[in-house]
Amino acid sequence: MNSPTLILACELIKRPSVTPDDQGCLELLGTRLAASGFQIELLPFGAVSNLWAVHGSGAPVFCFAGHTDVVPPGDLANWQSPPFEPTIRDGVLYGRGAADMKGSVAAMVTAAERFVATHPAHGGTLAFLLTSDEEGVAVDGTRRVVDTLAARQQPITWCLVGEPSSQRRLGDLLRNGRRGSLNGRLRVHGVQGHIAYPTLASNPIHLALPALTEICANEWDAGNEFFPPTSFQISNLNAGTGAENVIPPRLDAWINFRFGTASTVTGLQARVTSVLERHRLDYTLEWHLSGEPFLTPRGALVDAVVTAIREENGVSAALSTGGGTSDGRFIAKLGSEIIELGPVNATIHKINECVRVAELDELSTIYQSVLNRLLLDV
């Protein structure tokens, strides 16, 4: 229970840093890293706190990336212990952010502290990119920091994101890529009128349903060796005036594509538009791209992480591009190799979120092993 990683994780969990309110987490981490010789730069944008820290200089650049913000705890009455009072029961640490991802951040920091203490003149650069805006709209967090780094022509060669990737045992699954996410807000216009006189109105529900049915039934691609087929979903569908006898003036639909490298943003948009045009709808459609897909094939970073996991805890890691999105989608714009490795994700965003205490030290050891493999003898 005297583990430095556990102690730091508890200090972070105590701070109710619900997006984007950092509650001093990054200041705490910056102080820790500065004491180990890191150069600290705080990059606030709007209400969001960000931290960029570096140790060493030159290429290659290895970056730990993560977030200190958490989702709201929900109904406090359903927690076995208060979500922002870290509690250990039967070797398990409970608290909001324990798995997603204050435990990972703590493990990154303690791994880096040990590494630079042992190898103060290591090759290349060891960096941290931390934000308080990952669980929210993700506009003023990693996205803005990456824009700043790009303007400075600051590269990141390798990036390890501490997202909780593991399924049953630490290190059993790694994310070496993520699907892209394309959102659309569709409005189909009709003409409001009395429901008893449909010839004097135009029902947007009746007009839109055949087109939406066709879009839902479409096969967008077959996927490829790295990504599953593109999926399409309608997440919201709204129409009506609240009255039983009124044909509504419009229908609103929120749509989403999760897509890999077998499709493109422009291609998906064009195919949706062609269906809407063919059905002669009067519509408006606004698109929002949350992120392009990214993929890191086998290479120096993936091999270093897979080998470290196998040698430190005997697990053979599988590679996956499944799941949702992560801040890796922004860092990928720098041309970086990206891998995601973190704790077991069974309780993330849930009531009684937790992580095994032993897993935190295992994760810190693996992180340090990765640093040894990539930043020594370069």
C-beta separation of 106 from 9 below 8 A: yes
b/e per residue, 270-299, with b = 16+ CB within 10 A? Answer: eebeebbeebebebebeeeeebbbbbbeee
In the chain, % helix, strand, coil (3-state, to 5) comes to 35, 25, 40
- 368-to-119, 120, 126, 292, 301 alpha-carbon distances in Å: 11, 14, 11, 30, 13
Distance of CA 238 to the CA centre of its chain: 28
Amino acid at 274: S
Structural contact between residues 355 and 98, judged by C-beta atoms closer than 8 angstroms: yes
Q: Which residues pair with 254 in a beta bridge?
A: 185, 236
- CA dist 68 and 251 (Å) reads 39
In order, the DSSP letters of 78-108 are G-SS-TTS-EEETTEEESTTIIIIIHHHHHH
Report the distance separating Cα 270 and Cα 273, nearest Å. 5
* Rounded-to-integer distance, Cα 151 and Cα 349, Å: 34
Helix axes 357-375, 4-13, angle to 10 degrees: 110
Cβ count near 209 (within 10 Å): 15
Chain Cα centroid distance, residue 237: 26
For 220, 287, 290, 342, the CA distances from 66, given in Å and listed in that order, are 33, 28, 18, 10
Give the catalytic positions in this structure: 69, 134
3 state SS of 40: strand
Distance CA 334, CA 226 (A): 21
